[in-house]
Amino acid sequence: MSDKSSRRQFIDRSFRIIGFLGIGGAAGVLTKRASSSAVYQIDPFKCTSCDLCRTSCVLSLSAVKAVNDFEKCGYCMLCPAYMDVNSRPDEKGIPTGKVCPQDALKRRVVGRVDLEDPNNNYYEYAIDETRCDGCGKCVKACLPPAGNGSLRLEIRYTRCVECNECAIRVVCPDDAIVRVPVPGMAPTADSSEREKA
CA 19 – CA 24 distance, rounded (Å): 8
Neighbours of 129 (CB within 10 A): 17
Stretch 50-89: interaction string toward ligand SF4, x if CB under 6 A: x-xx---xxx---xx-x-----------------------
Shortest distance (Å) from residue 116 CB to ligand SF4: 30
Q: With respect to ligand SF4, which residue has the nearer C-beta, 11 or 166?
A: 166
Nearest CB to ligand SF4, comparing residues 2 and 35: 35
Does 142 participate in binding ligand SF4 (rule CB under 6 A)?
A: no
DSSP-assigned beta bridge partners for residue 109? 123
Q: Is 191 in the site for ligand SF4 (CB under 6 A)?
A: no
Per CB under 6 A, does 180 bind ligand SF4?
Answer: no
Across the strands, what pairs with 66? 153
Decide: 178 and 68 in contact? Cβ < 8 Å.
no
Give the residue with the Cβ less far from ligand SF4, 170 or 189: 170
Whether 67 and 127 have beta carbons less than 8 Å apart is answered as yes
**Which one of 177, 178, 180, 182 is in contact with ligand SF4 (CB under 6 A)?**
177
Q: Does 34 bind ligand SF4 (CB under 6 A)?
A: no
Amino acid letter, 146:
A
CA–CA distance, 18 with 31 (Å, rounded to integer):
13
